[in-house]
Copies of this chain bind each other. A is one copy, B any other.
Amino acid sequence: MEDRSLSREPSPGFSAAACAGSNIAFVKYWGVRKEPPGAGMPLNPSISMTLREAVTTTRVTFRPDSLPERDTLVLNERPGPPEALARVTRVLDEVRRRASLRAPARVMSSNNFPTSTGVASSASGFAALALAAAAAAGLPCAPQDLVDLALMGSGSACRSLYGGYVLWDASFGQEPEANPVRQIAAEDDWPLVDLVAVVSREAKKVPSSQGHLLAWTSPFLEARLSQARTAARIVEKAILDRDFETLCQAMEAEALSMHAVMMTSKPALLYWLPETVAVMQKVRSLREQGGVPCAFTIDAGPNVHVIALPEAAPEVRREIEALPGVEEVLFCTTGGGPRLLEADGPCD
């Protein structure tokens, strides 16, 4: 598990570009701590796979000579929305504090995957931002140096600071010294495929940040947290053992358990669409009747991630694409950690 990312030295030139892959969680977190307010620390550990094909590329340029104006954000070649800029500035403020910089920054960021397809652009986006900003400011750039920065933008972004399979154990967060994020296995140790069945591109009505607080209104939250902690141990071991069958069972149970909490909160969050269930039922039948190595997982939205062994991916993709209402199937494999770029460009 040699760390092959971030092999280049941070740029000293007030400008740096970095790219990072999104990730899909096999064990998800749902529900964040109420105290301290706004901290948003998750109530249970999560485990994800970093995605190779779904990446964000971000350039950060601090402008010491410019007037003390605000940071600017260009997202996918358009001005970024105010909420996104506010989160970006939160990260940059901390970088400026650590580097004793006062300059505002220009941030240009673009995803190579379409938005609202169930792939978390905040995960790849804030991982790339943390690395590019730290490098541009001449700060240390090892993944463990970036965890706090990435977390200021998005919880799941801290998992995108490593390649392969990554554990984020929030309970470690209590001790400031301990690194709450670590790699379980590298991307080459166990290549898997994530086929994202896109059934809707509509933005969800209740954003995750709001949903995380609603989690407390479900009568199942407490039981779910205990179940998720067990699931994290099982999934970590399954990854270390390359035990896909165990991973499948644990991953599906995990996703269903999270959605059970969502649909029993007040108000009930029903993220599923008819097509969501169609994909779930197809995946279960492919595996249970057809012996095809695949399993589903679902984030806080209607799109379904189908995790498969590489040799099964073509068949799974064919079957999923044939379902009515599946608009598109995105193909991703296990990817590495974020990288500093010599020049702007795609990650690979």
Chain A interfacial positions (CB closer than 8 Å to B): 219-220, 222-224, 226-227, 252-253, 256-257, 259-261, 263-264, 266, 268, 270, 272-278, 280-281, 284, 325
The CA-CA distance from A297 to B278 in the complex, in Å, is 20
Query: Is A270's CB under 8 angstroms from B280's CB?
Result: yes
Closest chain B residue to A228, Cβ basis: B219
Query: Is A268's CB under 8 angstroms from B252's CB?
Result: yes
B residues within 8 A CB of A325?
Answer: 274
Query: Is B280's CB under 8 angstroms from A277's CB?
Result: no
B residues within 8 A CB of A224?
Answer: 219-220
Closest chain B residue to A268, Cβ basis: B256
The CA-CA distance from A261 to B284 in the complex, in Å, is 18
The smallest beta-carbon distance between A101 and chain B, in angstroms, is 48
The oligomer's copy count stands at: 2
The CA-CA distance from A260 to B263 in the complex, in Å, is 8
- 16 CB < 8 A contacts A-B: A219-B224, A219-B226, A219-B227, A219-B257, A227-B264, A256-B263, A256-B264, A256-B268, A256-B270, A270-B277, A270-B280, A270-B281, A274-B274, A274-B278, A274-B281, A276-B277
The CA-CA distance from A137 to B264 in the complex, in Å, is 48
Closest chain B residue to A230, Cβ basis: B219
B residues within 8 A CB of A284?
Answer: 270
Question: Which of B256, B259, B277 lies in contact with A274, CB distance below 8 A?
Answer: B277
The CA-CA distance from A81 to B270 in the complex, in Å, is 39
The smallest beta-carbon distance between A55 and chain B, in angstroms, is 32
The smallest beta-carbon distance between A255 and chain B, in angstroms, is 10
Query: What are the 8 A-B residue pairs with the smallest beta carbon separation, nearest first?
Result: A260-B260, A274-B274, A274-B278, A219-B227, A219-B223, A220-B220, A256-B263, A274-B277
The CA-CA distance from A281 to B263 in the complex, in Å, is 12
The CA-CA distance from A266 to B227 in the complex, in Å, is 13
Best-surrounded residue of A227, A277, A281, A325 (most CB of chain B within 10 A): A277
The CA-CA distance from A260 to B258 in the complex, in Å, is 10
B residues within 8 A CB of A227?
Answer: 219, 264
Query: Is A273's CB under 8 angstroms from B264's CB?
Result: no
The CA-CA distance from A260 to B325 in the complex, in Å, is 25
The CA-CA distance from A224 to B270 in the complex, in Å, is 18
The CA-CA distance from A157 to B273 in the complex, in Å, is 34
The smallest beta-carbon distance between A233 and chain B, in angstroms, is 15
Query: Is B268's CB under 8 angstroms from A272's CB?
Result: no
The smallest beta-carbon distance between A274 and chain B, in angstroms, is 4
The CA-CA distance from A260 to B275 in the complex, in Å, is 19
B residues within 8 A CB of A257?
Answer: 219-220, 264
The CA-CA distance from A178 to B159 in the complex, in Å, is 58
Closest chain B residue to A302, Cβ basis: B277
